[in-house]
Structure 1
C-alpha cells in the first residue's frame, strides 16, 4: 500500500471501534501497532487494551510488547551489541515470530510470554499470560513490518497493522525524558536518542507504507 493511499486516524473512540471490529467469536486475531521509538505505541496499545476490556472477565484483549524478546545484556555483551541495544539484531526475532505463530493456533490453553522491565533493563520470562480463548492480542513493537528474515513473517500473521506517526522533534523529546528517568544523564540521554534510537528510526520509518493504517501518535487518545 502506498502512503498516499493510507488513512490517518486519531482518537481513542475511532481506534477502539476499529480494534473491536477485529474480534471474532471462536477465533484469535493479532493487531500489530508499530512505529519509531517514542512514537506513542505503548501508550496507545495499553489504552486500547484497557478500554476494550473495560473490567470484563474474561478479557477481550491482551497487550503483548515485543520488548520481552530483547536479548539478555550478557548476550549483547558477548556479541558486542550492548552499545546499540534496541537495534533489530539485538532481539530474538525468531523467538518472537514463533510466539505469534503459537498464539494463532494454541487457543485452548494459556500461553505465557516474556515482558521487559526497564528498572533492571532485562526481559522477565513468563510474566505475560494470554488466557485460553482470548480473542484479540495487541502486539506492539518497532520492527513488526521490517522486510527481512524473520521479521517479514509477521505481517502475514496480523489481522491489521497500525503505524504510529509522530514528528521527530516530539519523539526525541519523549525519548530524552524516558532515558533520563531511567538513569542516564541528560547528555547521555540526548546522545542515545539521536544516534541509537535515531538510527533505528530510519529503518522503522521505511516500513510505514506496509501498514494498513496510519495512527496519529501526537495525541492518539483524544
Structure 2
C-alpha cells in the first residue's frame, strides 16, 4: 500500500507538472506543537526533489532542487520585542503562542512568493530561527526562482484568524494540510525536544512547559483551524517521517 508520504509527494508533483512555469505550488502545513509537521514537510520535499533529480538525470539546468520547506519559526517575535510588551514576563512565558509571532510579516512573504516568476526574478529572502541565540535570523533562507514548490509549516499556518486566514486562503495557497496527532503522543515528543534544544533544563521543567504553553497553544490550533482542509494527515512514528 502506498505510504502517506509517497502519496503526498506524487500529489504535489502532479500539481507542479500542471502549473505554469511562472507560478509556484504553495502548501500550508499546520498542526499542534509536536505533531510532526516539520518532519512531514522535509520528507515530502525530499521525495519531490528526488523525483526532480531522476527526471533531470543530472542535467545542470535542473540541478537546483525544485522544492523547499519554509518554517514559520523564523517569524517568532524577538526576545527584545517580547520584553517591550505590556506584560513582558507573560510574553516570554507564553512564547510560541499566536500573539508572539509576526503574522503580518509571514503574510508579506506569502504574497511575494505568489507573484509571477520572471527571467529577472531575484531570490526572495525570509528569516529562520537560531535556537542557540533563541531569536530569528533575518534573511537566512533564500527562495530562488527555481524553487517552485514551497511547503510552509508551522503551528498557525492553518489558523482561522487574521492574518493567518488570508495567508492560507485559495488566493495564496494551493492546499492546506493539517497534521493530526493525539496530545498524549505529542507531549513526550515535546519534552524530549525541549531538553535537547536547551529550552528546559530537565524533563520535569520540559513537561511543565509542554503542559502550560505548547499544549495550551495546541488546543487553540485544533479548535481554531480553518474549516477547509485539503489533507488531514495522521502523524506516525515510522521511517517515512524521519
What is the TM-score with the length of structure 2 in the denominator?
0.83
- C-alpha separation between the residues in 1 aligned to 2:217 and 2:36? 16
Q: How does 1:45-194 map to 2 (within 5 A)?
A: 45-54=41-50, 56=53, 57-79=63-85, 80=88, 81-105=91-115, 107=117, 108-156=121-169, 157-183=172-198, 184=200, 185-194=202-211
SS at match of 1:215: strand
SS at match of 2:161: coil
Aligned length: 214
Most deviating of 205-214 and 43-52: 205-214
How much does 1:209 deviate?
4.0
How much does 1:195 deviate?
1.1
Select the residue among 33, 38, 43 that pairs with 1:42.
Answer: 38
- C-alpha separation between the residues in 1 aligned to 2:92 and 2:217? 14
How much does 1:219 deviate?
3.3
Alignment match, 1:14: 7
Q: Could you report, residue by residue, the CA deviation over 1:64-83 in whole angstroms, capped at 9, with x for unpaired residues?
A: 11110000011112212111
Select the residue among 192, 195, 203 that pairs with 2:212.
Answer: 195
SS at match of 1:210: coil
- C-alpha separation between the residues in 1 aligned to 2:3 and 2:48? 17
Q: Could you report, residue by residue, the CA deviation over 1:178-211 in whole angstroms, capped at 9, with x for unpaired residues?
A: 0011221211100110110011001111216431
Higher gyration radius (CA):
2
Answer whether contact 1:28 1:133 (CA < 8 A) is retained: no
Q: Could you report, residue by residue, the CA deviation over 1:21-52 in whole angstroms, capped at 9, with x for unpaired residues?
A: 22124121211111000000000111111221
- C-alpha separation between the residues in 2 aligned to 1:198 and 1:71? 20
SS at match of 2:15: coil
Moved over 6 A (4+): none
Aligned alpha-carbon RMSD (Å): 1.8
Most deviating of 207-216 and 183-192: 207-216
Unaligned runs of 5+ in 2: 54-62
- C-alpha separation between the residues in 1 aligned to 2:10 and 2:134? 34
How much does 1:122 deviate?
1.1
User: Structure 1 106/130 Cα, relative in aligned 2: closer, same or farther at 3 Å?
Assistant: farther
